[in-house]
Amino acid sequence: MASTETSPLNVEELNVTSAVLVAAAHHYGQACRVENDAFMKCRQEKKDPRACLEEGRRVTQCAIKFFRSLKAKCNDEFTSYWTCLDFNNQNYQECRKAEKSFNACAKEKLGIEKPEIK
């Protein structure tokens, strides 16, 4: 008889490419900072990733929520940006126009501003 109990490792996965992750990295970092920081703090303090499964689940849930919101509100701008990065071997200089458009949409419709890189 199969168990109906859910494994602590069964979570919805984020199914995106590296170009999508690179393009969204700064905005995702802003949107999910609290969850990511809590996970990293747990990992550092507990020194056992198994002790941080709940924090890891929250990171994944936040990422999924972020990307769904991105798709719903800035899909065209974001797709133009990550596609440009993908086709230009992640050469940011080639994609500044698309990046500017995406950043403006993320700020206006998601309330997330790209942090200034120092």
Domain that holds residue 83: 18-110
Q: Does the residue 12 lie in any domain?
A: no
pLDDT of the chain, 118 residues: tens digit per residue? 444 445 556 767 778 888 999 999 999 999 999 999 999 999 999 988 889 999 999 999 999 999 999 999 999 999 999 999 999 988 889 999 999 999 999 999 999 998 887 6
**Domain total in the chain:** 1
CA distance 1 to 41: 39
Q: Does the residue 10 lie in any domain?
A: no
pTM confidence score: 0.84
Q: Does the residue 61 lie in any domain?
A: yes
State the burial class of residue 112 (Cβ atoms within 10 Å of its Cβ: 0-12, 13-18, 19+).
Answer: buried
Q: Does the residue 85 lie in any domain?
A: yes
Q: Does the residue 88 lie in any domain?
A: yes
Q: Does the residue 86 lie in any domain?
A: yes
